[in-house]
Structure 1
Amino acid sequence: MKYLDIETSQLKAIGGFDTAKEISGQPELWGKIVDKLEKEREVIASFLESTLKKTEKIILTGAGTSAYIGLSVEGFIQRNTGVTTMSIATTHLVSHPQDYLEEGVPTLLVSFARSGNSPESIAAVKLADAHVKDCSHLIITCSADGDLAKYASKNNHLVFLLPPESNDKSLAMTGSYSGMLLTILLMGRFDRLTSMKEVVHTLRTCTEEFLNKKLDRVKKIAALGFTRAVFLGSGPLYGTAMESQLKLQELTDGHVICKNDSYLGFRHGPKAVVNEETLLVYFFSNNKKVLQYEMDLVRGMGVGKKPLKQIGIAMSDYDIPSVDELIVLGGGRDKVIEDEYLAVCYIVLGQLLAFYTSLNLKLRPDSPSETGAISRVVQGVKIY
């Protein structure tokens, strides 16, 4: 049995089995999530309908990787609910609750968590209940045994548990991230869940094609020896860029220093980080207007220090001479998939780069932190 083109026995020997299996298993996981949502449709629909009628603010929250989900969906949720929506990490919410929680504003707190055991996760829901008179909770998590899944709020709440295989065993979140992201996207258009199956099928097909036919291209990129990496994404794909930089930095134990930004934001100073040891990664939008801004930035990279390599991922085979490697997924589908859904499969590029670069550095992707500085569930946080 192979995962990411490496035999199981070898993966176990080099400490990469769980990560490789969890990255590879995402398309199948996404299908199981759709099935579970359908099975629990009545309960979920009832909760969403009754809750959104009274809600005036939605806060999307989580810690670390789980917080980045909100960055990819806040605009989508606001458009589809008509309710003011904010993405606020628990790591902000816990220290400054007064800046985000308003007593007289009916609020829906949407919490994302893999284990649900991070100290900030449970503190955030307790603070929301304490500060907001009418607070509802939607908890999306991967572990039935986590503190968050077991939280007994006296207020209106619903817990949605992803399929068990979403609860990654490896240090870095992969399937848990894309699975929770897909879940909230489907809940955002829950009245159209049946028709959204086609979108999920396309995402699965594109990702399977990537994993089955394009791994060699990612391996070559990962072997370039870059010491810096910058990921750029617009709108929903900004969250993808942020998660990608974290993934690569985590799995390389900080040997590769990473940044992320929007295309427009990158011009305002952060571009200075680029040097001859920098890998520049573009997540290209399907929105033609947005793409114009992105292409302008790419053309502008001809001025100043040249990066080691420029690579991109897109749904169409754009002619971009300055991009050294363009990975095209599901050619011709660019009119079908919106950027927020592309975030679900585009993240696989960031995950694969992180995995193969980790191996090239002789690290163990399942537990890459040689000093124990980072762990699967954060330690040492005291709640005051």
Structure 2
Amino acid sequence: MIQTTYLTLDSEKAEELGAFHTAKEIAGQPELWQRVFRQLKNEQNAIHSFIKPILEKGNARIVLTGAGSSAFIGESAQGIVQQLTGVHTQAIATTDVVTHPELFFLEKVPTLLVSFARSGNSPESVEAVRLADAHCNEIYHLIITCNPDGELAAYANDCGGNCLALVLPEGSNDNSLAMTGSFTSMLLAILLVAGIDQLDQLKQQFEDAAETANHILRNSLHEFEAVAKSDFNRVIFLGSGAMLGVARECHLKLQELTDGKVVCKHDSFLGFRHGPRAVANEESIVVYLFSRDPHVVRYETDLAKSIGEDKRKIRTISFAAENTDGYHSILDLPAVGTSEKAIFNVLPATMVGQLLGFYKCLQLGLHPDNPSVSGAISRVVQGVTIYNKA
């Protein structure tokens, strides 16, 4: 019998360790992204027909929303979406919308609410859609989900011409507790929607990002294992622009997969100087998610050099670095391609947190498919009661 290997584990060992689904879902992302790209290419005309009239209204607004990791999709995508569409775009978590809809919705502004949802069954996700309908005179819904049977997918099918659901390919709906392929596939989907008329021009950038991910999977897994076996109890993820949202997702992924035993932080490169840098010490690792924009990199490199001069020799990991001399780097992850925009680099960058979390989870004796020993976190959030506002 031929054994299938996912990451560095054969399927039998992965099952034994409670790691099968997570390993398979992390490893399967580059192929999943290809299927998402093909799907949106096939649905290009329908997406164009739905979204273009909204964007051409002149005073339209795009709101990107979700809960937890799904909210961080919006944070990662908002600047790129605004740049590609030319329409004011904000990321607002459903967990904020549900408690304070009056602070976030503008009654007289045509609004495209983009809802990200792995299952589509989280209470806040369903309520945010209802509140948008109640608070906006002209509301449109784009629902990007991984579950064709979820409440949000059903809502889109029933609500008429102001809704469109993109149900991503089978395999995007992760079985594991932590979102991996679902996060990156929904992030890819919104970037492609925003550039729906430019898919041919964007394809090479996308292929470069997919090859970066494949390079990591082919060449760096044992290095991630080695890092996970080293002694650290906190990790700081730094990114600029779209990478800041990715840094937040990596922060959550590592903390989630280690059941809180590794405490994490995220910040921008420049923001880290303004006080948060105090958290970095000998027991920490700083992860740099570098931009490909040479203007941005100058700021990022200055901080990396400054940390490298710290007498405590703080360990670092770098994604897409040009040169890590003097960084006390324990893992360097190159990026494929030369584009300064490289908008899809957010996809392989997200894998840094996933892989570090996966291997540290195993090193701690936890089960990646369900690392929460206490049951405090679950695949679909539990215990949220939705209240009607008087």
Question: TM-score, length-normalised on structure 1?
Answer: 0.96
Query: Helix, strand or coil: the match of 1:149?
Result: helix
Query: Helix, strand or coil: the match of 1:231?
Result: strand
Rounded Cα–Cα distance in structure 1 between residues aligned with 2:311 and 2:124: 41
Query: Helix, strand or coil: the match of 2:298?
Result: helix
Deviation per CA, 1:108-145: give whole Å up to 9, x if none. Answer: 10110100110000000000000000000110000001
**1:81 partnered with 2:85:** yes
CA separation of 1:200 and 1:339: change in aligned 2, threshold 3 A: closer
Match of 1:110 in 2: 114
Match of 2:323 in 1: 318
Rounded Cα–Cα distance in structure 2 between residues aligned with 1:214 and 1:36: 30
Deviation at 1:82, TM superposition (A): 1.8
CA contact under 8 A between 1:140 and 1:160: conserved in structure 2? yes
Match of 2:341 in 1: 338
Rounded Cα–Cα distance in structure 1 between residues aligned with 2:294 and 2:354: 26
**1:252 partnered with 2:255:** no
After superposition, residues 100-249 of structure 1 pair within 5 angstroms as: 100-151=104-155, 152-153=158-159, 156-249=162-255
CA contact under 8 A between 2:308 and 2:314: conserved in structure 1? no
Deviates more, 1:199-208 or 1:366-375: 199-208
CA contact under 8 A between 1:237 and 1:339: conserved in structure 2? no
After superposition, residues 265-280 of structure 1 pair within 5 angstroms as: 265-280=271-286
Q: Which amino acid aligns with 1:208?
A: N
**1:92 partnered with 2:96:** yes
Match of 1:328 in 2: 333
Q: Which amino acid aligns with 2:334?
A: L
Task: Find the partner of 1:353 among 353, 356, 361.
Answer: 356
Deviation per CA, 1:316-341: give whole Å up to 9, x if none. Answer: 5414312323423345x2x2262531
Deviation per CA, 1:60-114: give whole Å up to 9, x if none. Answer: 0000001111111111111222211111000111111001101111111011010
**1:28 partnered with 2:48:** no
Rounded Cα–Cα distance in structure 2 between residues aligned with 1:6 and 1:337: 36
Deviation at 1:196, TM superposition (A): 2.2
Match of 2:18 in 1: 15
CA contact under 8 A between 1:249 and 1:256: conserved in structure 2? yes
Query: Helix, strand or coil: the match of 2:278?
Result: helix
Query: Helix, strand or coil: the match of 1:70?
Result: helix
Rounded Cα–Cα distance in structure 1 between residues aligned with 2:24 and 2:65: 27
CA separation of 1:326 and 1:304: change in aligned 2, threshold 3 A: closer
CA separation of 1:319 and 1:362: change in aligned 2, threshold 3 A: closer
**1:37 partnered with 2:40:** yes
Task: Find the partner of 1:367 among 366, 370, 373.
Answer: 370
Deviates more, 1:45-54 or 1:129-138: 45-54
Deviation per CA, 1:254-278: give whole Å up to 9, x if none. Answer: 0000100001111111111112111
Deviates more, 1:219-228 or 1:369-378: 219-228
Rounded Cα–Cα distance in structure 1 between residues aligned with 2:148 and 2:101: 27
Q: Which amino acid aligns with 2:265?
A: K
**1:377 partnered with 2:380:** yes
Deviates more, 1:166-175 or 1:193-202: 193-202
What is the root-mean-square deviation of aligned Cα atoms in Å?
Answer: 1.5
Rounded Cα–Cα distance in structure 1 between residues aligned with 2:242 and 2:346: 7
CA contact under 8 A between 2:73 and 2:187: conserved in structure 1? yes
Q: Which runs of 5+ in 2 are unaligned?
A: none
Rounded Cα–Cα distance in structure 2 between residues aligned with 1:298 and 1:257: 21
Match of 2:305 in 1: 299
Q: Which runs of 5+ in 1 are unaligned?
A: none
CA contact under 8 A between 1:199 and 1:337: conserved in structure 2? no
Deviation at 1:57, TM superposition (A): 1.0
Rounded Cα–Cα distance in structure 1 between residues aligned with 2:280 and 2:90: 31
Q: Which amino acid aligns with 1:258?
A: C
CA contact under 8 A between 2:66 and 2:116: conserved in structure 1? yes
Deviation at 1:199, TM superposition (A): 2.1
CA contact under 8 A between 2:313 and 2:328: conserved in structure 1? no
Match of 1:59 in 2: 63
Deviation per CA, 1:218-253: give whole Å up to 9, x if none. Answer: 111111121111100000000110000100000000
Rounded Cα–Cα distance in structure 1 between residues aligned with 2:314 and 2:326: 15
Aligned identity (percent) is 48
Rounded Cα–Cα distance in structure 1 between residues aligned with 2:269 and 2:328: 15
Query: Helix, strand or coil: the match of 1:163?
Result: coil
Q: Which amino acid aligns with 1:243?
A: E
